[in-house]
């Protein structure tokens, strides 16, 4: 007799076509599938999405609208539990609405007596003290809590959360890999323009708007221009969050200007919505310069030598886990340091990979720990 699948609601920043958050969703879905098969516990994910039709067609799962309370309540009511995560859901820097929304979804599940699981979240910054007590009251009733760095754990402990134990795990995307049979076979996957097999070394670049005067983008563009002058390369901009990152990328491209005289070329990846498409882009790079956290995680997972630019503590936290430091911070980034470090990565990429391989292997192996814990929880409860 085949057991009925356990229905699990997934709450996160899904359906917005942000490549990093979509990669989180794909990684969690993959991990749940692998762990459920290993344990003999079938699962049926139900994703809360801003665009349920797109999410369903892209990932081949059921999805409901995250902002329609009646749909959310119905999904949770028929479920066997709720996962909140991963990503930077509980922070009040980009918006004061994020913390109340994500806590509200967890609380709704708890009111319905459903087990709730926090999956590899990056918590903070949380500047409003009122939110500290709200997070504490909700998290202490969770069945399981995991965070993606020690700093998030320390912040939760400072709020007075005593139980359950808080597990520190890698970001889920560390475990993401494209299907060996070809990414085209993933649900909803469509081919996008890629950098292909360039004869030039490819430098992937992930930028976003942050400083109001755009001085960080000016420094990145000038650093890349210096690299192009020193060595023929293919600078490939990779927008992770459309359309804003495409605009930031175009800003840098305009600043770099014409580099054809140096033998270099500059291009932008267009139309990558499925995580596997962006993963393939990153795999084609010989080095990556990234502001977006998940651009750096993609690169590390694919063993692409990387250089991070810090605009948020989460960048520093991840880089420290692979024994790296940022090229600089957005408020004081030096173009010379960017060009020098990129050229060093291109010259000695194999050394970079060799030194960090044990750390990366460990992170990849540990990335599915939350899924394993959640499936075990369902298996023991029957």
Task: Give residue 184's pLDDT.
Answer: 47
| pLDDT surpasses 60 at 179 | yes
* Nearest partner of 198 among 289, 265, 295, 298, judged by Cα: 265
Instruction: Return the minimum-mean-pLDDT range out of 175-189, 296-310, 313-327.
Output: 175-189
Model confidence band, residue 194 (pLDDT cutoffs 50, 70, 90): very low
pLDDT score recorded for residue 190:
42
**Res 272: pLDDT:** 76
With a CB cutoff of 8 Å and minimum separation 6, the contacts of 270 are 192, 193, 246
pLDDT attached to residue 240? 93
- Same topology between domain 6-169+367-381 and domain 202-363: yes
All structural domains of the chain with their residue ranges: 6-169+367-381, 202-363
- Say if CB 280 and CB 183 are below 8 A apart: yes
Weakest-pLDDT range from 28-32, 224-228, 288-292, 378-382: 378-382
> Radius of gyration of the chain from Cα atoms?
21
pLDDT of residue 41: 94
Instruction: Please give the backbone phi and psi of residue 348, each rounded to the nearest 5 degrees, phi first.
Output: -130, 45
- Looking at residue 182, its pLDDT comes to 47
Confidence of residue 3 (pLDDT cuts 50, 70, 90): confident
Cα separation values, 261 from 93, 136, 141, 257, 361, Å = 43, 59, 62, 11, 41
Task: Please report, rounded to a whole number, the percentage of residues in the chain having pLDDT higher than 70.
Answer: 94
Cα 74 to Cα 78: distance, rounded to the nearest angstrom: 6
Of 7-11, 89-93, 211-215, 292-296, the range with the lowest mean pLDDT is 89-93
Confidence of residue 135 (pLDDT cuts 50, 70, 90): very high
Q: What is the pLDDT of residue 146?
A: 97
User: Region 352-368: what's the mean pLDDT?
Assistant: 96
Pick the CATH number of 6-169+367-381 from 3.40.50.11540, 3.40.50.10740, 3.40.50.11930, 3.90.1150.10: 3.40.50.11930
280 SS3 class: helix
Q: Distances in Å between the alpha carbon of 52 and those of 83, 84, 237? A: 17, 17, 29
Note the pLDDT of residue 350. 97
Name the residue among 3, 48, 44 with its Cα closest to residue 25.
48
Rounded to an integer, the average pLDDT of 191-212 is: 78
Which region, left, alpha or beta, applies to residue 237 given φ > 0 means left and ψ of -120 to 50 means alpha? beta
Among 24-28, 219-223, 259-263, which is the least confidently predicted range? Answer: 259-263
> What is the arithmetic mean of pLDDT over 159-168?
92
Mean pLDDT of 347-354: 97
pLDDT at 191 over 50: no
| Distance (Å) of CA 289 to CA 86, 207, 310, 326 | 23, 8, 11, 10
Task: Identify whether 239 is preceded by a cis peptide bond (ω within 30 of 0).
Answer: no
Say which CATH class 202-363 falls into: alpha beta
Whether residue 80 is predicted with pLDDT greater than 70 in this model: the reply is: yes
The pLDDT-based confidence of 261 (bands split at 50, 70, 90) is confident
Q: Give pTM, 2 decimals.
A: 0.88
pLDDT score of 183: 45
pLDDT (average), residues 324-328: 97
pLDDT over threshold 90, residue 178: no
Please state, in angstroms and as integers, the Cα–Cα distance from residue 182 to each residue in 189, 190, 194, 228, 381, following that order: 10, 12, 15, 33, 37
At 1 the pLDDT is 47
State the average pLDDT for the chain. Answer: 92
pLDDT reading at 236 higher than 60: yes
């Amino acid at each position: 007799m085949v057991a009925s699948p356990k229905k699990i609601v997934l709450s996160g920043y899904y359906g917005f076509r942000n490549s990093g958050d979509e990669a989180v969703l794909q990684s969690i879905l993959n991990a749940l599938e692998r762990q459920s098969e290993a344990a003999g516990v079938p699962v049926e994910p139900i994703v809360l999405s801003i665009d349920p039709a797109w999410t369903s067609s892209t990932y081949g799962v059921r999805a409901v609208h995250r902002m329609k309370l009646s749909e959310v309540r119905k999904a949770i009511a028929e479920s066997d539990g709720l996962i909140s995560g991963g990503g930077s859901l509980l922070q009040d820097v980009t918006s004061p609405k994020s913390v109340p929304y994500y806590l509200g979804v967890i609380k709704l599940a708890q009111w319905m007596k459903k087990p709730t699981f926090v999956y590899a979240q990056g918590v903070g910054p949380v500047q409003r003290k009122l939110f500290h007590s709200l997070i504490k009251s909700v998290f202490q009733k969770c069945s399981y809590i995991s965070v993606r760095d020690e700093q998030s754990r320390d912040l939760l402990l400072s709020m007075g959360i005593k139980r359950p134990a808080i597990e520190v795990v890698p970001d889920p995307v560390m475990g993401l890999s494209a299907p060996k049979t070809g990414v085209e076979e993933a649900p909803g996957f469509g081919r996008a323009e890629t950098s292909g097999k360039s004869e030039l070394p490819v430098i992937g670049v992930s930028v976003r708007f942050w400083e109001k005067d755009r001085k960080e983008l000016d420094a990145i563009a000038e650093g890349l221009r210096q690299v192009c002058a020193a060595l023929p390369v293919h600078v490939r901009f990779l927008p992770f969050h459309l359309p804003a990152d495409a605009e930031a990328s175009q800003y840098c491209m305009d600043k770099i200007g014409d580099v054809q005289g140096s033998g270099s070329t500059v291009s932008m990846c267009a139309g990558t919505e499925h995580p596997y498409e962006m993963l393939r882009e990153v795999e084609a790079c010989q080095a990556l310069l990234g502001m977006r956290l998940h651009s750096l995680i993609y690169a590390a997972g694919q063993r692409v030598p990387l250089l991070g630019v810090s605009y948020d503590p989460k960048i520093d936290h991840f880089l420290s886990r692979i024994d790296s430091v940022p090229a600089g911070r957005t408020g004081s980034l030096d173009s010379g340091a960017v060009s020098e470090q990129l050229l060093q990565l291109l010259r000695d990429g194999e050394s970079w990979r060799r030194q960090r391989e044990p750390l990366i292997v460990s992170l990849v192996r540990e990335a599915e720990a939350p899924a394993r814990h959640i499936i075990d929880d369902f298996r023991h409860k029957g």
